[in-house]
Amino acid sequence: MFYGSFSLWLLLALPGLLLGLWAQMKVKRAFGKYSKVRNTRGLTGAQVARLILDHYGLRHVSIEETQGMLTDHYDPRAKVLRLSPAVGRAPTIAAVGVAAHEAGHALQDADGYAPLKLRSAIVPAVQFGSWLGPLIIMAGFFLMALTGAADLGYTVAWFGLILFALTAVFAIITLPVEFNASARAKKELVALGILSSQEMKGVNETLNAAALTYVAAAIAAIGQVLYYVFLLSGRRR
């Protein structure tokens, strides 16, 4: 069904995938490097997150531990900031940077930051579209191969593609959400006197590498959607 389109897939999907791998390597390297450097005030990630949250009166946002490596996240529904042991318990520059970033998401939630609201709102549709979209596209191609059902198949395939395109929309909305959370983190770490400007270099390196992974994910998602667009456009008779 998709024979002969492998080079097209490579052209559209590979740049995002390669950039993503490179960015993930950069994150691991920066996080590893600054996980070995203690911050001067000896504050753990959890302590710093608490400081930032309390500074904005967000005492109702709790901090919990979660397992894994770089699994840190903020849960807007439960109002819980979950930090991995290497972040929550560690008094390092890397830990403080990641914890402040996650606290930044809690500040966005408290502010009613529009891109975060929009992203949360489309999550169910995105989850649905990411697996159902490709199946409907396949069904459309199958119908197109049948005599007499070509037009119906074409319409069905486009419908599936629109569903699947939600994954790219999600990846694009994620960009302002992540960039803004990092910007808030950098600002608070300086404003609250948590890190020195020298120490901020490590935070910047870590958070900027993390931002690049989201850029890569968006490029990969757009490439994947464009792949289907080209494939379908080429089928019009």
Q: What is the chain's length? A: 237
Q: Is 205 tagged catalytic?
A: no
Give the x/- contact pattern for Zn ion in 135-174, rule: CB under 5 A: ----------------------------------------
Applying the rule CB under 5 A, the residues between 170 and 189 that interact with Zn ion are 178, 181
In this structure, what is the dihedral angle of CA atoms 77, 90, 180, 114, given to the nearest 10 degrees?
A: 10
Minimum Å distance from CB 236 to Zn ion?
A: 40
List the end-to-end C-alpha distance of the chain, in Å, as a whole number: 16
Minimum Å distance from CB 29 to Zn ion?
A: 19
Nearer to Zn ion, 181 or 232 (CB): 181
Nearer to Zn ion, 103 or 220 (CB): 103
Give CA–CA dist 193/195, Å, rounded. 6
Nearer to Zn ion, 9 or 179 (CB): 179
Minimum Å distance from CB 101 to Zn ion?
A: 6
Minimum Å distance from CB 74 to Zn ion?
A: 7
Neighbours of 73 (CB within 10 A): 14
Q: How many residues bind Zn ion (CB under 5 A)?
A: 2
Long-range contacts of 149-152 (CB under 8 A, 24+ apart): 150/237
**Pick the catalytic residue: 64, 102, 178, 205?**
102
Q: Which two tokens stand for residue 41?
A: 């005030």
What are the C-alpha distances in Å from 235 to residues 134, 157, 232?
Answer: 16, 11, 5
Binding footprint of Zn ion on the chain (CB under 5 A): 178, 181
Cite the active site residues.
102
